[in-house]
Amino acid sequence: MALGRRRTLNVDTYFVKFNPWHTAFMDTIHAAFPKVRCLFIYREPTEMLVSVVKTPAPIMSNIRGTPFAAVLSKLSVEQTQQVSYVEYFAKIYQNFMHAALHSTIPNLKYLNYSHLKAEDLPLILAQSFGYHPAFEELVLMQQQFDYYSKDDKKSIYFSCDKAAKHELITPEVQQAVKQCELDRLYAQLEQTATNLF
């Protein structure tokens, strides 16, 4: 509780959002907190790759050529530097999706990013976490959807960039998606029994 951000004085519950690379260790993390409910949010593969090409993820970019990069990508340390940036991230996302599909977390819920909307928040919270916020708290939570998620100052309004991302899809991105079978893994995530939508 001491490290969380309290939006109101009576906060006694926190939602923890992990970075994507934590997916590789999700079962281990959950074993340390076995009573905590979990939700895995995933995104359409080409959109994921276009996002990292457009705005490189510093943590995962800077570790290329290290044992940690090899763990995340299941490539050799040398291969993490030899393959293209797009191939490197495609391999990482392949392993993240595989980890989520084969997780041993009981009753793990799945949510496509496209369904993460303010109007669906009550259902998402109830089905994923058994959480039913008071009306005032729900309104505060839903207001966050108006702003860019990485801007705590609320100075940048959120706008859906799905169409813009699809315009940036390159043949290299399409090839990486095909080579790593990301569309197949995405389809499996869509069909999981505990998918919310």
Query: What is the per-residue pLDDT for 156?
Result: 65
- Give start and end residues of each alpha helix (H) in the chain: 26-32, 45-54, 58-62, 67-73, 77-82, 85-101, 121-129, 135-143, 162-167, 171-179, 182-190
- What is residue 33's predicted lDDT score, i.e. its pLDDT? 92
pLDDT of 51: 87
Distance CA 91, CA 89 (A): 5
Q: Which residues contact 39 (CB under 8 A, 6 or more apart)?
A: 108, 109, 110, 111, 124, 128, 129
* Nearest one of 80, 83, 96 to 43, comparing CA atoms: 96
Measured between alpha carbons, how far is 98 from 96 in angstroms, rounded to an integer? 5
Domain ranges of the chain: 20-54+96-190
Report strand pairing: 39-42 vs 109-112. Answer: parallel
Give whole-number Cα distances, 123 to 43, 50, 128, 149, 160, in Å.
19, 29, 8, 20, 21
Per-residue pLDDT of the chain (197 residues; tens, 9 = 90+): 456 666 667 777 788 889 888 999 999 999 999 999 999 999 999 999 998 888 877 788 899 999 999 999 999 999 999 999 999 999 999 999 999 999 999 999 999 999 999 999 999 999 999 999 999 989 988 988 887 666 566 666 666 667 777 788 999 999 999 999 999 999 999 999 999 99
Contact call for residues 83 and 75 (beta carbons, < 8 A): yes
